[in-house]
């Protein structure tokens, strides 16, 4: 069984960031990504943040690569993994959140990552994680089916149950417990992946990363020019509030980054540029807004 190779993972992640940014720029009609290279100092790593702000298609699109190192993990990381205590670590990944301007284009999120913790005289502890999920404001069955077809396609080479397991994990993870509602229509989520050895796990992570654009790009192309009014825009801003709530309360990546002294600007680029909250608001029955809650924000088998 092959040993873990962080450099190969890093090379892939940098290439993935390039490929995703190129595809997103191809969809954007005004401007492109600005790049921000950052360094944490010493030998603690850094990253490459790319951002589109105030575009015609994408109100904000952030695609971040980070590679950080440290001598010790925060208590939150070792509480359930006591074997990690006293080890130095490396964590690297590509994380992105795309907030379109048109309310008929869903927000999307993807992340693929690798973690390794080492200690002299002991075998390294390592794993992969990642996934992608979709957060529509107005539901389209064709979009939901396409998204999940691509998710399943990413998983098919690795076992008959992988898609179903990772879809279920995604539905459970991207759930706002205090609201008792899902964040969106799901997709894939996995973590702590090391079963089957480094090569298998690396290939699975790459497959998930490589299928993100094929899942998202056709949806953007179909919906980005649909006409909308202030009503749809207002609902989009209201629903974005759920995105903020999840990322600040539950998201593991956000919490890990902040607790390990990560770069705050890059960590919080996932938050939408505009958002609104309303007190105890509920959509009117029979509307497209209520359909989002009644149909699309209900975990289901979109490929049945």
263 is in an annotated binding site: yes
pLDDT tens for 228-273 read: 999 999 999 999 999 999 988 988 778 777 776 677 888 888 889 9
pLDDT tens for each residue of 191-220: 999 999 999 999 999 999 999 999 999 999
Would you say residue 1 lies in a domain?
no
pLDDT grade for 77, boundaries at 50, 70 and 90:
low
113 within a domain of the structure (yes/no):
yes
The answer to which of 8-12, 85-89, 218-222 has the lowest mean pLDDT is 85-89
Residue 132 placed within a domain: yes
Segment 76-102 shows an average pLDDT of: 84
The pLDDT confidence band at residue 149, using thresholds 50, 70 and 90, is very high
Q: What is the pLDDT of residue 104?
A: 98
Parent domain of 231 = 6-296
pLDDT(302) > 80: yes
109 is catalytic: yes
One-letter-per-residue 3-state SS of the chain: CCCCCHHHHHHHHHHHHHHHHHHHHHHCCCCCCEEEEEECCCCCEEEEEEEEECCCCEEEEEEEEEEEEECCCCHHHHCCCHHHCCCEEEEEEEEEEEEECCCCCCEEEEEEEEEEEEECCEEEEEEEEEEEEEECCCCCHHHHHHHHHHHHHHHHHHCCCHHHHHHHHHHHHCEECCCCEECCCEEEEEEEECCCCHHHHHHHHHHHHHHHHHHHHHHHHHHCCCCCCHHHHHHHHHHHHHHHHHHHHCCHHHHHHHHCCCCHHHHHHHCCCCCCCCCCCCCCCCCHHHHHHHHHCCCCCCCC
- Is 232 inside a domain boundary? yes
Q: How would residue 276 be classed by pLDDT, with cut points 50, 70 and 90?
A: very high
Does residue 303 lie within any of the structural domains? no
Q: What is the CATH number of the domain that holds 191?
A: 3.40.1500.10
Is 95 among the annotated ligand-binding positions?
yes
* Residue 186 included in any domain: yes
Identify whether 304 is part of a domain: no
Mean pLDDT of all residues belonging to the chain: 92
> Is 111 one of the annotated binding-site residues?
yes
Question: Among the options 67, 109, 146, 211, which is catalytic?
Answer: 109
Within-domain flag for 301: no
Q: How many domains does the chain have?
A: 1
Ligand-binding annotation for 249, yes or no, is: no
């Amino acid at each position: 069984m092959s040993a873990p190779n962080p450099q190969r993972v890093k090379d892939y992640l940098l290439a993935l960031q390039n490929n995703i940014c190129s595809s997103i720029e191809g969809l954007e009609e005004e401007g492109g990504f600005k790049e921000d290279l950052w360094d944490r100092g010493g030998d603690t790593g850094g990253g490459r943040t790319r951002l589109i702000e105030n575009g015609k298609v994408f109100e904000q699109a952030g695609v971040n690569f980070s590679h950080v190192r440290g001598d010790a993990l925060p208590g939150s990381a070792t509480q359930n993994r006591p074997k990690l205590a006293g080890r130095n670590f490396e964590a690297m990944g590509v994380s992105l959140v795309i907030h379109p301007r048109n309310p008929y284009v869903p927000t999307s999120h993807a992340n693929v990552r690798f973690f390794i913790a080492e200690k002299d005289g002991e075998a390294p502890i390592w794993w992969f994680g990642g996934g992608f999920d979709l957060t529509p404001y107005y539901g389209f069955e064709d979009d939901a089916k396409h998204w999940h077809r691509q998710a399943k396609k990413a998983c098919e080479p690795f076992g008959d149950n992988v898609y179903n397991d990772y879809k279920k994990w995604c539905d459970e993870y991207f759930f706002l417990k205090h609201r008792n509602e899902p964040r969106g229509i799901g997709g894939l989520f996995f973590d702590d992946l090391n079963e089957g050895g480094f090569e298998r796990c690396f290939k699975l992570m790459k497959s998930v990363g490589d299928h993100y654009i094929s899942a998202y790009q056709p949806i953007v192309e179909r919906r980005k020019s649909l006409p909308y009014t202030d009503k749809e825009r207002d609902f989009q801003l209201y629903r974005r509030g759920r995105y903020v709530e999840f990322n600040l309360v539950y998201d593991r990546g956000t919490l890990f980054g902040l607790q390990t002294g990560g770069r705050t600007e890059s960590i919080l680029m996932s938050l939408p540029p505009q958002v609104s909250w309303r007190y105890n608001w509920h959509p009117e029955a029979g509307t497209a807004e209520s359909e989002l809650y009644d149909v699309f924000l209900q975990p289901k088998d979109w490929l049945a």
